[in-house]
Amino acid sequence: LNVTEEQFVLDTLAGCVEYKSLLDVVVNAFFVQDGRYSLASERNLYAVICYLATFELEELGFQHFSRIVKSLDTVKMQKFLRFFFNVLNLNTWIKDEWSHFYDSAYVKENWIDPLLRWQPKVQQLIGQLTEKLSNRATTVKTSMVTQPKEFNLTVPKQRAIVVPLPKPVLEKRRPVPPSTYKAPKEEKQLEEIKIKNRRKAEVSILCSCSGFPFLLTCFFCKVLFPQYLELVWQLVLRQYFEELQSSHRIYIPIKLNAAAILREGALYQRKMEQELKRTENLLQGAGDPSEFLEWQKQMREKDLEKQLAEIECRRLQGKLSYEEAVLAHQNVIQQNKKKADLMREEKAELMHQYAERRLQEQKELRELVEQVVEGHKNAKQAKIKLQKYKQQIVQEVCEENRELLRQALEEEEEKLKKRYELIQQIRAIESLPSVRHKVVDLTETGGHGLICEMSIVELRERLALLREAQKAAEEERRDQIIHEKQAKEQLLLDKLDQISLFRAQLGRAAALKQEEKKRKSQSRDRLMKDERVLNLQKKIMEKTMERKAQAGLL
């Protein structure tokens, strides 16, 4: 740049930095309203144009300013100047926003008034830009069509016919063993055992509930009327379960796994040790804590009754507070309705005032449009000169592009020649014969100089020895597992016997649970008779009646 141009650029940059807050007000508003689809990278462009129009238009002169604007994108400049030099915007919100940073009188005298004085000339410039956009001629660029050429390649020599290798013969596979598609024998044995156990259980149930006469009847049914035997069995089983339920001694057998058996056996073992310890203490002269435990149980029941009464009172108090909150909410709704009516009246008045102001603005805009139409008439000659200047520039650019394409084609031809020579060298190297067969001796080592080197024959012998040792270890482990399994089965059988004894004893204590249920029902009856609960229920009924009456009014 020249000295003067460099000084102008530096002064413009310094001014944009100094008055950044004022420029941001205009640029941000432009991006919100008219420049919604503009790029964020164009922000600095609009800031510079705003700075030149506001602070440097007097020194720069309108002719230089219009030259700068016309050198930029026509659509962008037309939008921004129309937005910035709008009389309504300058006199209203731009002036108010700039007054936040500087004194309002200073803003009006030094910035707003000069912009209003330049406004007619700027409107002429905007008209020229608009006419340029409307009369823009679309020029179609004609591109050079590429003419393809065949490659000058050498014809390859015919290669020798390769003799195909013989196909390898696969070994005959072993047939699939027939045991794969057959069910194992263990399943059949288990099914037979289940059927035998079911028959034994049915016979034992018949013996326990019906006696000999019914067995005789079943025998005759089986011999004379075999089709009714299943119905008789169902009747017998139903009668048996009804008898067990009437005597409160029904126990449904549950199939236990090993973990459940051991866990239940450990539980009963602990209980038995505790009972033995208690009897030893009694024999040694220790006191019987049954009376204290009975007193403790009674006191806990009383405490539980008090806690239940307190919980019921809290629940009813919460319900009462809910009813009061609903009443307060209904009162607030009534007050809000009154406020909404007042707001509607105020809104109608404001809309009326806004409509009057809008009509006045439309009148002013019509006057401005008439002024802009008058300025459009003087822009046709300038447009013709600009078109001729652009055509000259396009011709010069086309000539430069042709020269660059010619140079690029020469460089590509040189690169192709080098690649072709390199391919010829690689093919010559690949055509040389090479020896690929090597005789292998399985008794020799690799010869790498390591201590642990061995031949393949020695490696196979060592692997065979390791397999034999592994098989012997597996046999030993299998025998050990069988012995452990037998010992575990015996332990489980002992635990099952112990569990059956303890379950028989626990069945006798079922009657005590019913007595505890009766006591709990009595405590609930006492809870319903509490005076505080009755008073709270009355208050809740009164509040609900009042809320329903007020809801009907609403």
Query: How does pLDDT run along the chain (554 residues), one tens digit per residue?
Result: 788 888 888 888 888 898 888 888 888 888 888 888 888 888 888 889 888 888 888 888 888 888 888 888 888 888 888 888 888 888 888 888 888 888 888 888 888 888 888 888 888 888 888 888 888 644 555 667 888 888 888 888 877 777 777 777 777 888 888 888 888 888 888 889 988 888 777 666 555 544 444 444 444 444 444 444 555 566 656 665 565 555 444 445 566 788 888 888 888 888 888 888 877 877 777 666 677 778 888 888 888 888 888 888 888 888 888 888 888 888 888 888 888 888 888 888 888 888 888 888 888 888 888 877 776 666 667 778 888 888 888 888 888 888 888 888 888 888 888 888 888 888 888 777 665 556 677 888 877 778 778 888 888 999 999 999 999 999 999 999 999 999 988 888 888 888 888 877 777 777 677 777 777 666 655 555 567 777 777 888 888 888 788 777 76
Amino acid at 437: H
Phi, psi of 193 (to 5 degrees): -65, -40
Give the closest residue to 283 by CA, choosing from 275, 292, 295, 294: 275
Are 114 and 86 spatial neighbours (Cβ–Cβ below 8 Å)? no
3-state SS class at 106? helix
CA distances from 524 to 195, 518, 531 (A): 51, 10, 14
Q: 371 near 120, Cβ under 8 Å?
A: yes
Whether residue 457 contacts residue 442, with contact meaning beta carbons closer than 8 Å, is answered with yes
Written as one letter, the residue type at 7 is Q
| Contact of 536 with 313, CB cutoff 8 Å | yes
Q: Report helix, strand or coil for 142.
A: coil
